[in-house]
Amino acid sequence: DVKVTQSSRYLVKRTGEKVFLECVQDMDHENMFWYRQDPGLGLRLIYFSYDVKMKEKGDIPEGYSVSREKKERFSLILESASTNQTSMYLCASSFGPNYGYTFGSGTRLTVV
């Protein structure tokens, strides 16, 4: 069964901490994405990557960075966590246009 796996389901971090969210896919997809989901705002794109070491900003990249050292792994980094980054974070992967996404189960991050 093909999968996108996010390493943590729930995380609680303190303001100012550096936070790493990990995502691994086993479908040999070129493209990987990080979204956050907030009530009333839907899913908003933070960053995406179309190849190893390649990344592009999405709609809301401020306060975040990403790393893609291997094709199957895409990490989201919160450089200095703030309370307004409390959210559900969703990783997804895709072959490309007209293929849609496969999502991971999400990480519920709370910053206190």
Partner 1 sequence: DQQVKQNSPSLSVQEGRISILNCDYTNSMFDYFLWYKKYPAEGPTFLISISSIKDKNEDGRFTVFLNKSAKHLSLHIVPSQPGDSAVYFCAASASTDSWGKLQFGAGTQVVVTP
Can you give the binding site for partner 1, defined by CB under 8 A? Answer: 4, 6, 9, 31, 33, 35, 40-45, 48, 50, 56, 58, 90, 92, 94-106, 108
**Spatial CA neighbour of 27 closest among 74, 95, 89:** 95
d(CA 2, CA 38): 26
> Among residues 44, 61, 49, 60, which one has the least CA distance to residue 94?
49
Q: Which is nearer to partner 1, 13 or 44 (CB)?
A: 44
The minimum distance between CB 16 and partner 1, in angstroms, equals 27
Q: How far is the CB of 14 from partner 1 (least distance, A)?
A: 23
Among candidates 55, 65, 102, which has minimal Cα distance to 85? Answer: 65
* Beta carbon nearer to partner 1, 13 or 95: 95
Give whichever of 9 and 70 is closer to partner 1, judged by the CB atom: 9
